[in-house]
Structure 1
Amino acid sequence: MRKKLRVAAYAICVRDDQLLLARGPAPDGTPEWMLPGGGMEHGEDPYDTVVREVEEETGYRIELTGLLGVDSRRHHFRRGFGRTVDHHGVRLLYEGRVVGGELRNEVGGSTDLAAWQDLSAVPGLTRVGLVDAGLALWRQRPAAGRFTRPEG
């Protein structure tokens, strides 16, 4: 079994009761909404990762105003030739504030659309689970900075 660790950083940017999201393809190709952010490059600080990724995916320059917490998730899946991968994703979630730039879509990247979505509409969107984890951290601000996934 192959073991894979992926460390990534994402931003929760809320203004006027709207959340900044990017849209990209799910593994089956279906479009789904996600938080702007992504994987760290070797040697890169997670702070720099999220600032870079948000600008790449949305066109906005952001200022990080706090570390909300960490979402750690491990799952197994099959890759080509029946090989099993033990994947561990560690995602750092920061609160961010837009300080410049203009909203635009990413060209030639992992997302195809960036948009502000009403917080009340988020539950009805096709989205990755990290959106809910990030919003829970943003709303609850747990002292330990850890999101606990509901059972089931």
Structure 2
Amino acid sequence: MIDLANVMINKELRVSAYAICIDDGKILLARWVGADEWQWTLPGGGLDHAEDPVDAAIREVEEETGYRIAVETLLGMDTVRRRHPRGPGREADFHGLRIVYEGRILGGTLRHEVGGSTDQAAWVDLDRVADLERSDVVDAGLALYRVRPRNGRVSGP
């Protein structure tokens, strides 16, 4: 049994930028691969130090899918907070800030990322998304895309 009084908690903040690209009833997704799991996600990821979020979304989409995009619109932001074990006596209090843009394909060719955090990229019919093993950022992105809230978030105060 773990003595909770002696658990070290690390606060972790990760700011990420994603692009939702929809064309002809299909959405562009990338398959994220972890140590023992995988799930479909929006193309995107963490900002590099001092990187602008728009530039990060453009860079990440190209890295993960092979496409060059234009960022059309800031759809909004989504936050997530989770606690994760980080080894014996350590836990992470993770806070993710996810910035979601609408992207338009400018060029490139669909390809899979090599040596990164994703291993596949695909256009998926929108009516099939609910059946996929997927990250919650896909649902958050689709909600922002459909609702286009004035305050930049779908739910909350």
| TM-score normalized by the length of structure 2 | 0.91
Equivalent residue number for residue 18 of structure 1: 26
Tell me which of 44, 49, 52 is aligned to 2:56.
49
Larger radius of gyration, structure 1 or 2?
2
Q: Distance in 2 between matches of 1:45 and 1:60?
A: 19
Structure 2 segments unaligned to the other structure (5+ residues): 1-8
Equivalent residue number for residue 91 of structure 2: 84
SS in structure 1 opposite 2:118? coil
Equivalent residue number for residue 63 of structure 1: 70
Q: Which amino acid aligns with 2:23?
A: R
Q: Are 1:75 and 2:87 matched, yes or no?
A: no
Q: Distance in 1 between matches of 2:76 and 2:133?
A: 23
Tell me which of 129, 142, 145 is aligned to 1:138.
145
Equivalent residue number for residue 131 of structure 2: 124
Task: Number of aligned residue pairs: give it.
Answer: 148
Equivalent residue number for residue 111 of structure 1: 118
CA-to-aligned-CA distance 1:37-86 (integer Å, 9 cap, x gap): 00000000000000000000000000000000000111212111231111
Q: Distance in 2 between matches of 1:107 and 1:62?
A: 19
The alpha carbon displacement at 1:121 in A equals: 0.2
SS in structure 2 opposite 1:121? helix
Q: Which amino acid aligns with 1:12?
A: I
CA RMSD of aligned residues (A): 1.1
Structure 1 segments unaligned to the other structure (5+ residues): none
State, as a whole percentage, how many aligned pairs show the same letter: 57
SS in structure 1 opposite 2:32? strand
| TM-score normalized by the length of structure 1 | 0.94
Superposed structure 1 runs of 4+ greater than 4 Å apart: none
Tell me which of 9, 13, 17 is aligned to 1:5.
13
SS in structure 1 opposite 2:88? helix
